[in-house]
């Protein structure tokens, strides 16, 4: 993807987060979208009034199933990510939001039946719109007007949308890599006084990733490495709901004891759904869902992370063969796919406490973690 396209994609993401409109186009359809999480009610009403027909609630098939709008679908069914659209009978009636936001309370089934029309499959541009919402850390639920290419009314211009080619959001086309090293400093740590932090910035304007280089790792041998997704609650606050803080500190201690290693501290909070949505998932877990079902209920996949940046960071540091500190076999597979040889998986488990036993059990039972 060119630098110009990456900047344009970033502008569209920012506009959606700010409550504005984005128009996504491909060779089949145009879809004009806003986020009900961010857009003001009058803006949503203006979008709905464009054609004289109801605007749609645009969500994934899995989210629609969990909201009771379609038949249940297995959590690992690949059709779950397909977009579907339901006409919003009255944009001024807040009950339609129940299908988009699982945090809302009330008689959900009755409200949804009253507020929404019959679901139908949505087009490729709509799938790109949902991907854009995810990139912006928003709930993947949008208010949309979808029409055949070139047939949106001229009044759409009054919403001043950012116009973007939907193909830029095609799976695998977004440049998760293309990182640039932008800063480096020595930062002595309590468990590793000989330590450097190296910051990498992605070309698409997303958040920076950090390499924590402990000691003097030898590039001629497989180094000890860990892929650690940032966790504000666990790493910084010492939350007992997860094992992230223990894993981070434990990795640094292990590397210091062995003479060196690299922790890749990745800006992928909450398995890639962001801090706000992670807190929403926690609230759903307090209502009885496990960590996997909470993410699915929000409209995300169980794990939205991309480990391509980790592979690029390792190559930039001169390491292509590693001993990986992890309990997650998916990380081993992902790194291999992106050109990093994992010569050994080094177990990295810590005892459960009274708050995270269920979380750890779910990781083992439903995500295949070796605990």
Over residues 152-211, the pLDDT tens digits come to 888 888 899 999 999 888 644 454 558 999 999 999 999 999 999 999 998 877 899 999
230 is in an annotated binding site: yes
Query: Which superfamily does CATH assign the domain made up of 179-268+305-367 to?
Result: GTP cyclohydrolase II (3.40.50.10990)
For residues 13 and 292, give the distance between their C-alpha atoms in angstroms, rounded to a whole number.
26
Weakest mean pLDDT among 91-100, 215-224, 278-287, 292-301: 91-100
Mean pLDDT of 136-162: 90
Tokens of 185: 């400093």
CB within 8 A of 342, min separation 6: which ones? 322, 323, 324, 332, 335, 336
According to CATH, the superfamily of the domain at 3-169 is DHBP synthase (3.90.870.10)
Report the alpha-carbon distance of residue 219 to residue 217 in Å, rounded: 6
Q: Please report the pLDDT score of residue 73 as a whole number.
A: 85
In the chain, where does the domain assigned CATH 3.40.50.10990 lie? 179-268+305-367
Mean pLDDT, rounded, of the chain: 90
What band does 99 get if pLDDT is binned at 50, 70 and 90? confident
pLDDT tens track for 5-36: 778 888 999 999 999 999 999 988 999 999 99
State the average pLDDT over residues 136-148.
Answer: 93
Q: Is 271 annotated as a binding residue?
A: yes
Do the annotations mark residue 229 as ligand-binding? Answer: yes
Q: Is 303 a catalytic residue?
A: yes
Cα-Cα-Cα-Cα dihedral sign, residues 219, 225, 230, 235: negative
Please identify which of the residues 63, 112, 280, 305 carries the catalytic annotation: 305
Mean pLDDT, range 265-272, rounded to an integer: 96
Distance in angstroms (rounded) separating the CA atoms of residues 105 and 112 = 12
Q: How many residues does the chain have?
A: 371
Taking 50 as the threshold, does the pLDDT of residue 343 lie above it? yes
d(CA 322, CA 343): 6
Mean pLDDT of 337-349: 95
Check the annotation: does 195 bind a ligand.
Answer: no
Read off the pLDDT of each residue in 140-161 and give the average, rounded to a whole number: 90
Q: Round to whole Å and give the CA distance between 263 and 356.
A: 23
* Residue 291 is assigned to a ligand binding site: yes
180 is in an annotated binding site: no
Percent of the chain topping pLDDT 70: 96
Give the mean model confidence (pLDDT) for residues 334-359.
Answer: 93
- Of residues 107 and 153, more confidence is placed in 153
The catalytic residue among 101, 165, 290, 303 is 303
Q: What is the model's pLDDT at position 173?
A: 45
Domain with CATH 3.90.870.10 in the chain: 3-169
Cα gap 25→152, rounded to integer Å: 11
Tens of pLDDT, residue by residue over 269-292, are: 999 999 999 999 999 999 999 999
Any known ligand binding at 17? Answer: no
Least confident of 20-24, 149-153, 233-237: 149-153
In sequence order, the 6+-apart residues with CB closer than 8 A to the CB of 298 are 63, 102, 139, 140, 273, 277, 280, 281, 284
Q: Is the pLDDT assigned to residue 107 strictly greater than 80?
A: no
Is residue 242 marked as binding?
A: yes
pLDDT value at residue 326: 95
**56 a catalytic residue:** no
């Amino acid at each position: 993807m060119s630098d110009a396209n990456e900047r344009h994609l970033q502008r569209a993401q920012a506009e959606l987060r700010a409550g504005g409109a984005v128009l996504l186009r491909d060779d089949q359809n145009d879809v004009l979208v806003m986020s009900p999480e961010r857009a003001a009610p009058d803006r949503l009403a203006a979008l709905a009034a464009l054609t004289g027909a109801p605007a749609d609630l645009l969500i994934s098939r899995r989210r629609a199933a969990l909201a009771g709008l379609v038949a249940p679908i297995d959590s690992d069914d690949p059709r779950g990510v397909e977009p579907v659209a339901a006409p919003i009978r009255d944009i001024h009636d807040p009950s339609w939001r129940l299908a988009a936001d699982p945090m809302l309370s009330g008689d959900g089934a009755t409200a949804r039946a009253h507020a929404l029309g019959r679901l139908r499959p949505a087009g490729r541009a709509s799938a790109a719109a949902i991907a854009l919402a995810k990139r912006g850390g928003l709930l993947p639920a949008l208010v949309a007007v979808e029409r055949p290419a070139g047939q949106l009314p001229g009044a759409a211009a009054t919403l001043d949308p950012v116009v973007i080619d939907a193909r830029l959001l095609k799976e695998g086309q977004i440049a998760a890599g293309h990182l640039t090293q932008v800063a480096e400093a020595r930062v002595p740590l309590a468990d590793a006084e000989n330590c450097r932090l190296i910051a990498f910035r992605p070309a698409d304007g997303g958040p920076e990733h950090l390499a924590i280089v402990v000691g003097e790792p030898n590039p001629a041998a497989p180094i000890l490495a860990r892929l650690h997704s940032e966790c504000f609650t666990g790493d910084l606050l010492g939350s007992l709901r997860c094992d992230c803080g223990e894993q981070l500190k434990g990795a640094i201690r292990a590397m210091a004891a062995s003479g060196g290693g690299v922790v890749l501290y990745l800006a992928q909070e909450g398995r890639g759904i962001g801090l706000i949505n992670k807190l929403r998932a926690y609230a759903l877990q307090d209502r009885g869902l496990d960590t996997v079902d909470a993410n699915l209920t929000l409209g995300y996949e169980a794990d939205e992370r991309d480990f391509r940046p980790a592979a690029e960071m390792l190559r930039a540091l001169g390491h292509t063969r590693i001993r990986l500190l992890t309990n997650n076999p998916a990380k081993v597979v992902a790194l291999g796919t992106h050109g990093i040889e994992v010569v050994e998986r080094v177990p990295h488990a810590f005892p459960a406490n009274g708050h995270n036993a269920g979380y750890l059990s779910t990781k083992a039972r439903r995500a295949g973690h070796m605990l």
